[in-house]
Amino acid sequence: MQELPLLEPAGGQSVVPCCPPLTERPMSAAEAETAARMFKALGDPVRLRLFSAVASHEGGEACVCDISDVGVSQPTVSHHLKKLKEAGLLTSERRGTWVYYRVEPSVLAAMGQLLAMPSAA
């Protein structure tokens, strides 16, 4: 899997959300590819709980060592965090022994925008 095109490769500077609100006009095939990849990454209950664990962790970041209460093994946690990173939903940084994961806020914002309803609906 590759990094999502709506993300700048590193540093988290400018970000162009991939798509207009779903209710505005039919999505193009290319837009749908990008957005479906994000939705799919959150479409697994364990992965979603891990994403939520990272997103809600103190300081907005967490390593595998911080996450132990989801009921899956550490290698499984690592595997899922990697998948979330590949989908562009998390960024990571190695510090010493551990890799720390952080939610990419611009991606959440882009997904939220996709789901926005028109105010006059």
Selected binder of its own copies within 1, 3, 8, 39 (CB under 8 A): 39
CB of 41 to its own copies, least distance (A): 8
DSSP secondary structure letters along 94-111: EETTEEEEEE-HHHHHHH
Q: What residues from 88 to 107 belong to the interface with its own copies (CB under 8 A)?
A: 103, 105
CB of 78 to its own copies, least distance (A): 17
Stretch that binds its own copies, among 7-15, 16-24, 73-81, 93-101 (CB under 8 A): 16-24
Residues present in the chain in total: 121
CB of 5 or CB of 43, closer to its own copies: 43
CB of 68 or CB of 93, closer to its own copies: 68
Distances, alpha carbon 119 to alpha carbons 10, 23, 24, 48, 114, in Å = 34, 11, 12, 28, 14
CB of 69 or CB of 96, closer to its own copies: 69
CB of 52 or CB of 98, closer to its own copies: 52
Counting contacts by CB under 8 A, is residue 117 touching its own copies? yes
Counting contacts by CB under 8 A, is residue 65 touching its own copies? no
